[in-house]
Amino acid sequence: MGTFETITADVDSHVGTITINRPDKRNALSTTVLAEVRQVLEEWRDDADVQAVIFTGAGEKAFVAGADISQLEHYDLAYGLAGTMQRLFNLIEEFPKPTLAAINGVAMGGGLELAMSCDIRIAAENAKVGLPETTLGVLPGAGGTQRLSRLVGKGRAVEMILTSRVLSATEALDYGLVTEVHPQDGLLAGAQATVKKILGKGPLATQLAKLVITNGAETDQRTGLLLERLAQTLLYTTDDKAEGAAAFLAKRPPNFQGK
């Protein structure tokens, strides 16, 4: 993979890490950042060597401070309807491989929306998260109004968005917006440990579990249970299911092949 202007993209031990690399701009999301992240994800989608993706920001101050406000004055009706950022975050949410946001500092606006599109969010102790768009006369338009309410509940989401409330890492943990808080110097190790746990499970099972959870949350329980049953039925036919059962009975680690 070539070099990029605004991000770095590395793969180690089957884990891809995308780092937003604009520390002088607090890693703000410019149109170039969005295009480069999309390019990497499209390459990694079908790359068997990449089995999970971690997102983080360069430096210790910001994960992603938000959209690049210097570009806001150029946003217009056509830009809004194009929904470039929203569509990228939809791609992340629907990505077939597990995704994790390692929030290493401030995550505001589009930064929090990026993190919320990931499957799992963990934070450094100095992290601060919020959706302050109403202070600029706009609203969280890259999934914030929808994903926040689904993660923390409608009441808390309304209060956070209308007041532009910023949460500390411990408050975000209490809200259920993140699942772990680590010291700054242990954040990436914590992210890698979580991903390693996931990669030790059946890859088909984790992929289908993600699909059922994501899509089941958007429908009624009866339909969600049907999705669950059909996914489980598919897994019953796989070599991985047979290997998982055999390994459990033999009291040995499973050797899943994704088949």
Q: Which of 79, 80, 146, 68 is nearest to 108 (CA)?
A: 68
Neighbours of 149 (CB within 10 A): 16
Would you list the DSSP string of 218-232? TS-HHHHHHHHHHHH
> Angle between the 144-152 and 154-163 helix axes, to the nearest 10 degrees?
130
Q: Which of 126, 115, 68 is nearest to 93 (CA)?
A: 115
Q: Which of 36, 60, 93, 113 is catalytic?
A: 113
Distance (Å, rounded) from C-alpha 187 to C-alpha 58?
A: 13
Distance (Å, rounded) from C-alpha 157 to C-alpha 145?
A: 7
Q: Which of 42, 60, 73, 133 is catalytic?
A: 133
The reply to whether 113 belongs to the active site is: yes
């209060």: which residue's tokens? 159
The reply to whether 133 belongs to the active site is: yes
Q: CB–CB of 111/89 below 8 Å?
A: no
Three-class secondary structure of residue 217 per DSSP? coil
Active site residues: 113, 133
